[in-house]
Chains A and B, each alone.
Chain A
């Protein structure tokens, strides 16, 4: 029986994660600048306002960390493919990549507008809102679909390693963002 290959946490992994978090901060600042702060609907509850703030804060970090953790998982040493894609952390990362790419492409396209020239893409509030709600909703549904597929097939095999745990946390983060999008009246 082949033993499962577990990769240890290295300094390079730490550096890559720190860089991804820094990019998440930059994206969050750009979004908040384009929105001129978190929007508040008059008369809404304290809970809804803070839930929206959490949603708008979390999405940029999840966007940057998801492909980063996916790339870290694919670095050697790694398990065989058949074991690898049973891990829910990797499944969530693989499922999230395509809708993230689609949402970023929509964001850039909407920021560029009809002229086709890339104007300041990080200050277009309308494109940012589309990414914040429509994009994160898509990603949440992709992650939910991938995890349900693993669960229904009985192929879910979480690995007791730091990297799969981070992947699972990111997947749970996208599901939380999905729920927050759905309960937000601004969606």
Chain B
């Protein structure tokens, strides 16, 4: 019988560089995509629109702005849901950018074969998460493109397309937020959860746990008003 050689590898300096680059993109990237101004949908008069939270993302520096501002302390003036929203807003950019970074790190050689790789929870979470993000992002951009059909082109079209990237990205992130726990649930129930004893898969599992924590935080916000 041939011995099966382990194809797991250790983290090296190139992996470190990838993670550093990803962190830089998470800090500097979001302000480049400001997003369009919100348009109000006229609501019937019997609908009471709740007041906006005290801490709310505003303008292009929503994510990096939080890094520079002091941590809001929940008190009589700041509802807990706004505090959770701040927490989710500051964290999701990093979790989102590290997901493709860890996927690239895992796919570098030497690596196990795909059918072994996909059983690792870290890699399964990042693969499904990226795929769902791509599907939702593309669908949202197609919806935007369809809504722009027949309108004028040129520079205005390019500017509008640039503004459309952020909402599409946020929709994609929300999709990933729910796709990752679904993947892990199916892996656990199906009995094909096979974590690898390596730093790469441990990082991937930590990232998956981060996505789940963000999902729980977002859900808990509606109960803490």
Contact = CB atoms under 8 A, between A and B. Distances in A.
A151 B182 CA distance: 13
A133 B179 CA distance: 17
B190 interface: yes
B5 to A, nearest CB: 23
Nearest to B127: A152
Given A137-B174, A185-B41, A153 B192 contact: yes
Interface string A140-153: 01111110111011
Contacts of A141: 132, 136, 174-175, 177-179, 182
A77 B143 CA distance: 45
B168 to A, nearest CB: 10
B181 A142 contact: yes
Main secondary structure on chain B at its contact with chain A? helix
B222 A106 contact: yes
B180 interface: yes
A145 B183 contact: yes
A20 B155 CA distance: 53
A150 B192 CA distance: 10
A148 B184 CA distance: 12
Contacts of B140: 182
Interface stretch (A22-30, A53-61, A79-87): A79-87
A97 to B, nearest CB: 9
Q: How large is the interface on A (under 10, 10 to 19, 20 to 34, 35 or more residues)?
A: 35 or more
Interface residues of B, number: 44
Nearest to B136: A182
A68 B131 CA distance: 29
A165 interface: no
B165 interface: no
B190 A85 contact: yes
Contact of B135 (A36, A109, A144): A144
Contacts of B185: 94-95, 98, 146
B51 interface: no
B92 to A, nearest CB: 15
A149 B128 contact: yes
Interface in B114-144: 115, 118-119, 124, 127-129, 131-132, 135-136, 139-140, 143
Interface stretch (B11-19, B42-50, B65-73, B102-110): B42-50
Interface in A92-145: 94-95, 98-99, 102, 105-106, 109-110, 114, 125-126, 137-138, 141-145
Given A41-B41, A94-B189, A146-B183, 6 more contacts: A109-B223, A114-B225, A126-B50, A145-B132, A152-B127, A183-B146
Interface of A: 36, 39, 41-42, 81-82, 85-86, 91, 94-95, 98-99, 102, 105-106, 109-110, 114, 125-126, 137-138, 141-146, 148-150, 152-155, 179, 182-183, 185-186
